[in-house]
Structure 1
Amino acid sequence: MNIIVAGINFKTASIQIRERFTFNKNMLLRAIQTLQNRIGIQECVIVSTCNRTEIYCVVDEINTGRHSIIAFLSDWFNTDQSELENIIYVKESDRAIHHLFRVSCGLNSLVIGETQILGQIKDAFFQSLELSATNKIFNRLFKQAITLAKYVHTHTDIGRNAVSVSYAAVELGKKILHNLSDKTVVILGAGRMGELTAKHLYSNGVKKIIVVNRTIEHASELASRFDGVALGLDQLSTALKDADIVISSLEAKYNIITKQQVQGIFKQRKHPLFFIDIGVPRNIDPEIRYMEKAFLYNIDDLESIVKSNFQDRINEADKIEEMIYEEVASFKEWLDTLDVVPLITQLREKSITIHEEAIHQIEKKLPNLTEYELKIIRKFSKSIVNQLLNGPLIKMKQMVVDNSNKDELIEIITQIFSLEEERNKKLQESTVKSKRSEIKKIDFTLNSTPIHSL
C-alpha cells in the first residue's frame, strides 16, 4: 500500500483558479463515493477549503493512484488533465505523510499556525470515516496528525497572537479605517468564517455588527452573541447603505454583491465603502474594485497583511518541524509492521489452537482433575506459550522494519513456523471479500449519476 496526496493551494494557484476546484458541502459526499470507486483507490479523504483542495489516498500502486486522482479531478470539474498537471502538486509516501502533519499543524497555511485548518481536517476525515472511505491506515494517520496538531496549539507559542484569514480581514479593516469602534460592519455569511470574523470584530471594539445570511435563523443566532442585527439576504442592499466595511464569506457559485447593486447604493451615500471578500468562490464582483469610492480586497490580498506577525511563528515552526519528523518516523515504523501483522495473527491463532488441543488431551487422559486444577494448568500452560512467542514476535517486527527485502523475510518466517495453511486460508477469505467489494463497485457505477448531470 502507498500513500499519496494531490492538491492545489494558495501557493500554487491564484484564487481565480482555486475557486474553480472547490467541493461544496452538497457535492462532497458524492465526490468521496465516486473517488473511492476509482481503480487502485483503497482509502480516500478530500479536504476542500478556501485556500486548498487536496485529495489524500491510500493506493495499490503510485502511478495508477496518481492517474486515478488526476482523472477524477479532470472528470469532476470538466477540465483537461493537461491543465491540471500545470497547477497540481503530488506528494508520495513519506512526503505525503509529512505534508499532512504540516497542514494539520497550520504550517502550510496562508497564516502560519492558524487553527481553522485543524477543524477542517477533522471534518474531512470524519466524513470519509462515516462513508467507510477510510480504513486502518488513514484511521491511524489522520488521528495521529490531529492529535499532534492539538498538542502543538496547546503547548507551543505557534498560536500566540492568533491570526487567521478572518483575523487578517479585521486587521485590514483597522488599517484602512484606524478606529473601528464607531464603524458599521456587515458580515455576509453566518458560517464558521463569519463567526470568527464577528468574534475578532467584537474584541476590537466594533459595536455595530450586521449579520446577513440566506437563513435568517442562523444570522440571528450569530448576531445575538455579539449584540448585532440579523438580516436576510433579501435585505442586503439595505444593510450596505449604512455600512463602512463589508466582510463576505458565503459559499456561493455567483456574485452575491454585484457592480450594479453597488452603483445604486452610491447614489444614496457619499462616504467610501470597503469590501473584503474572503469567500471562495468569491462573493463580490471583482469589477467593483475599479469603482470610485469602492475599495475591494480578496483573500489573496490578505497575505501581505499578516506577514508582520510571522517571524515569531516561524521560530516556533522550526521546533514543530522536529516534532513532525518524529511523528512521521513513528507512523512509518507502524506502517512497516503492517506487513508482518497477518503473520503475527496467524502465529497466535496457531498457538491458541495447539494450546486448546493440548488442554483437551489432558482432560481426556486425566478425567478426575478438578475444575480448579484445570484452571491452574490452563493458566500456566498459556503463560508458557505467551513467553515463548513474545521474543520471536518482537524480533519479527524489528526484522521486517529493518530489512529491505520484506517479502523474502516474511516467506522465511512463514516456512519456519509452518504457517502456509493459515496463510492460504486468509488469502481465500481476502479473495471472497475482494470479489464482494468489486460487485458493490459495479453496482455503484450502474446506479450512479453521471458527473455532468451533478
Structure 2
Amino acid sequence: MDSLEPGQPSSRPHWSGATREALAAEFLCIGLSYRTASLAVRERLALPEVEQRELLKRLGQAPTEALLVSTCNRVELYLAAPDVAQARQRAREELGRLGGPEVLDCLYEHSGEAALTHLFRVASSLDSMVLGEAQVLGQVKDALERSQAAGTVRGELARMFAAAFRCARRVRSETAIGMAATSMAGAAVALASKAAEGLEDKTVLLVGAGEMAALAARHLKQAGAGHIQVVNRTRSRAEALAAEVGGTAYPFEELFTLLASADVVVSGTSSPEPLFTRENVAEVLEARRHRPLVMVDLAVPRNIAPEVGTLEQVRDLDLDDIQRFVAHNEAVRAEEARKAGVMVVEEVTRFMRDRAVREGVPVLCRLRQRAETIARAEAERTIASLGEGLTARQRKSVEAMARAIVNKLLHEPTTRLRTLEAGQDGERIAGVVASLFGLEPH
C-alpha cells in the first residue's frame, strides 16, 4: 500500500461477523524528520520520557498498538490498528496538540507495506542524516523497549520491529555501508575541526557525558584535540569520560569559567532550556580578547540559543549545519546504499509473505475441518445407502475417496496462499475465503 494522503480513507475492506478474525491490524507510520522539518520544529516534539509514555498510553489502547521513535533527527509514531483511519486521526491530533499547527505541515505518513519499508530503512540507517551510522539501530531498539515497558507494544509491532532488526543486521554484515560512515557526533567534530582550522592545538570544552557527548569525545580524541575538558552535572560521569579520552573533568559550576579559555565548545546535554544564551556568552567574550570561539550544538532541544550565533566572535553550528555538511560526503556510500536498499525490499517481502501465511493458515485449517466433516458425513451416508453387502475393504475405499477429494481440492489454494508473492494481500484473501465458505472464527 502506498503512503496515505491526508483525508484518504483506508482501502481495507470491512468484513463483519465470521470473517472479522481474518483481518489483522494494519501498520501506520506518521512523523517528521530532518528531511521534512527544521530543527526549530523538531524541538517542539522533543518530549521528556514521562510525556512520551503518556502519549503512548493514549494512542496504544487495545486493540491498537503504538511505538514512538524519538531522536534528535526524527519523531515517528508506529501504529498497528484494525481501524487505521481512526488511528491516523488520533495521532495527528496528538502531534498537533503537542507541537502546534506548524508540526502538522511537516508530517509524512506511510501505511501498510510502505510503513514496513520505511522502518526497515530507518533501522538500517538508510534514512539517517549520516548514511550508514550505527547509532540509529540502538535508538530504535531503545524505543521498542520503552514502548513495551509502557504496555503499548504487543504481537504485531513486536514482530514488525524484530524483522526490522534482522534486516539491519543483514545490511551491516553484507554491505560496507558502515565502513565509510561516521556518526552524527563524528560529523560534528569534523565540522568543528574545519571551522577551527584544526583541533591539534585547541582546547575543547565538552558539555555533557551522555551517549552523544561520549561519541563526540571519542571522535575528538581521534582528531587529536589538544586538551579535552569535560563538564557534566553528574561529576562521576564526567570523570569516567575524561579518563577514557585523556581529558580533564571539571565541576559543572565552572562551565563559564572554562568557556573563557576554550577554543571549541561541543554541547550535547538533555537540558530542556538553552545552557548558552546571547547574554551569558557575551559576558565571557570580553575576557577572551577577541579570540574566535566555535560552538557546536548536538542537542535537541538546543543547548545553544540561536541568538548566540549573532555575536561577532562566535561561530555557532547546530544539527542543521551538520546535515548540510554530511550531504556533501554521501557520494562514497551511494553504491553500498543501493545494495542495502535491495536487501530492504527482500526483507520486507519476506515479512509480508510470513505474515500472509500467519493470517491465511488459520482460515485454511478451518476450511479443511469443514471439508473433512462434510466428506466424512457424505461417505457415511453413501455407505449406509449401499446396505450391508459392502466389505470392509469397500468401506475403506469409499472413505479414502472422500479424503482424496478433499486433499486434491484444497492442495492448490493452500500452496498458493503459502507462497504469495510480495505485494499480494494475504489478509484480504483469507477474509474472502472465510466469507465465501461461511467459516466461523474459533
Q: Same fold (TM over 0.5)?
A: yes
Task: Pick 1 or 2: higher relative contact order, CA cutoff 8 A, min separation 6.
Answer: 2
CA distances 1:226-256 after superposition (whole Å, capped 9, x unpaired): 1111223322112212211001111122110
CA distances 1:70-99 after superposition (whole Å, capped 9, x unpaired): 11223344x34xx44311111111111110
Corresponding position: 1:334 with 2:354:
yes
Corresponding position: 1:16 with 2:54:
no
**2:276–2:308 Cα contact (<8 Å) kept:** no
**2:363–2:433 Cα contact (<8 Å) kept:** no
Structure 1 residues 349, 243: CA separation in 2 closer, same or farther (over 3 Å shift)?
Answer: farther
Q: Aligned residue for 1:267? A: 286
Deviation of residue 391 (structure 1)? 6.0
Give the letter for the 1:185 counterpart.
V
Give the letter for the 1:328 counterpart.
V
Alignment of 1:27-426 (within 5 A): 27-37=51-61, 42-77=64-99, 79-80=100-101, 83-270=102-289, 271-343=291-363, 394-395=414-415, 397-398=417-418, 405-412=429-436, 420=440, 423=441, 426=442
Give the letter for the 2:259 counterpart.
L
Give the letter for the 1:277 counterpart.
D
CA distances 1:365-402 after superposition (whole Å, capped 9, x unpaired): xxxxxxxxxxxxxxxxxxx9xxx899689537438867
Deviation of residue 180 (structure 1)? 1.2
The answer to which structure has the higher helix fraction is 1
CA distances 1:230-289 after superposition (whole Å, capped 9, x unpaired): 223322112212211001111122110122221221121121111011211111121111
Give the letter for the 2:225 counterpart.
V
SS in 1 for 2:299: coil
CA distance in 2, matches of 1:304, 1:84: 22
RMSD (Å), alpha carbons: 2.8
Q: Percent identity?
A: 32
CA distance in 1, matches of 2:302, 2:425: 51
Corresponding position: 1:3 with 2:9:
no
Moved more, 59-68 or 275-284: 59-68
SS in 2 for 1:158: coil
SS in 1 for 2:266: strand
SS in 2 for 1:295: strand
Deviation of residue 347 (structure 1)? 8.2
SS in 2 for 1:87: coil
Structure 1 residues 219, 27: CA separation in 2 closer, same or farther (over 3 Å shift)?
Answer: farther
CA distance in 2, matches of 1:314, 1:341: 41
Q: Which runs of 5+ in 2 are unaligned?
A: 1-24, 371-402
Structure 1 residues 84, 174: CA separation in 2 closer, same or farther (over 3 Å shift)?
Answer: closer
Structure 1 residues 178, 334: CA separation in 2 closer, same or farther (over 3 Å shift)?
Answer: same
Give the letter for the 1:211 counterpart.
V
SS in 2 for 1:3: strand
Deviation of residue 155 (structure 1)? 2.6
Deviation of residue 24 (structure 1)? 2.4
**2:193–2:199 Cα contact (<8 Å) kept:** yes
TM-score normalised per structure 2: 0.79
SS in 1 for 2:80: strand
Q: Which runs of 5+ in 1 are unaligned?
A: 351-383, 427-454
CA distance in 2, matches of 1:411, 1:395: 20
Aligned residue-pair number? 380
Give the letter for the 2:350 counterpart.
S
**2:274–2:305 Cα contact (<8 Å) kept:** yes
SS in 2 for 1:338: helix
**2:137–2:165 Cα contact (<8 Å) kept:** yes
Deviation of residue 210 (structure 1)? 1.2
Structure 1 residues 27, 216: CA separation in 2 closer, same or farther (over 3 Å shift)?
Answer: farther
CA distance in 2, matches of 1:284, 1:118: 27
Deviation of residue 308 (structure 1)? 3.4
SS in 2 for 1:239: helix
CA distance in 2, matches of 1:263, 1:31: 39
**1:219–1:230 Cα contact (<8 Å) kept:** yes
Give the letter for the 2:32 counterpart.
I
CA distance in 2, matches of 1:86, 1:307: 24
CA distances 1:303-350 after superposition (whole Å, capped 9, x unpaired): 232233211211111111111111111111122223234346768999
Structure 1 residues 122, 409: CA separation in 2 closer, same or farther (over 3 Å shift)?
Answer: same
